[in-house]
Structure 1
Amino acid sequence: MHDFFPKTFPYTPGSAISGIVEAAGADAADFRKGDRVLGSVDGAFAEYGLTKANEWVPIPENLSFEAAASVKGGADSAWKALFSEGELKSGQTVLIHAAAGGSGQYAARLAKWKGAEVIGTASAAHLDFVKELGADQVIDDTTTSFETSVKDVDLVIDLAGGDTESRSWPVLKRGGTLVSLVRPPKVLKNTELQQNSIPAFRFAAIWKPSSA
């Protein structure tokens, strides 16, 4: 991973975090000692962290620290995948792989909020949960090949990895987008599809190490 995320030792991993403000500087007037906050800090696995005030927001009263800590990593990644890279719009269709996972469940909710039609893949134990998130269609990816029942989607969010990416290209409509959060999409796959007279697609990657 050093080629992608160079680090020097000693190194403390982690970035997404929730916690309590211990002290606030003069330029952090919106925060006071004792405030519950969520955000990001380099070395989030440490007991204390130092960061800029604009990296933090207050935690809503009804949200636990555990749930709040997932927002930066899960919701932030989902937002970027759907809207910054995927450019999802109301009325479009999105296929979300691993929709019950940390980023997947945020992606499903955000896509429904945007007014998109949501298709989610998950294991049998999580199908009901994905339905509760608002998915219009759920697929048990342990027993069903999603490509046999899905076609002409505008956007694929790949949170599963493996051969999911290669199996996802054919379900995209012309001009559709595949966004991967697990690895850079293979450029060769897009080329191969074009050579086989399948319409061109757009692809992007929001790739991060598992410790982020």
Structure 2
Amino acid sequence: MTSRLVVLVSGSGTNLQALLDACADPDYGARVVAVGADRDGILALERAERAGVPTFVHRVKDYPSREEWDAALADDVAAYQPDLVISAGFMKLVGAAFLAKLRGRFLNTHPALLPSFPGMHGARDALAYGVKVTGATLFVVDEGVDTGVIVAQRVVEVEDDDTEETLHERIKVVERQMLVDAVGRIAREGYLVTERRFRFGSERPRS
């Protein structure tokens, strides 16, 4: 059975495009059934529309409270009955209502090797600390900041002449491939989480 993906975006949508391209292969095992955003007029929404994928937008400023925005976003995402929800550059933190509906199915990427350098500036912080390797992490979102169960990681070497920008660009390349590879494996093989250990190849738990 083909896994249903809802992808959340905020910007140019390069990770979204990588997923759309992968899903064009029937053997990949997944398809993007909807794309949601927190702002209008972004390239990611154009990518979805060109691919014939339904889109929806929930802007925080359109709601009386952050909690009401979170609940509305959760309802729209859940209406598409996703097997996985992918944060592909989505720049908003979800809250309790979203996690209550979609716990265990919401994946996000981070530009560092968690648990090192969590937060908004993973590449910058790794560079400032002087590490020789950093990378990208795919994890299951929970209530913390970049604290969820780790699904996959890829290593990127830090070059002597790296700036935050050059390092982050190289991280994004491996992050994109990691995301596509891991989502495909989950779709085809399923997964199981035991305590903090994520394993491919088992029955996928359903909410």
Please indicate the TM-score interval, normalised by the length of the shorter structure. 0.3 to 0.5
Larger RCO, structures 1/2 (Cα 8 Å, 6+ apart): 2
The higher radius of gyration belongs to 1
TM-score by length of 2: 0.39
Structure 1 or 2: more helix by fraction: 2
TM-score by length of 1: 0.38
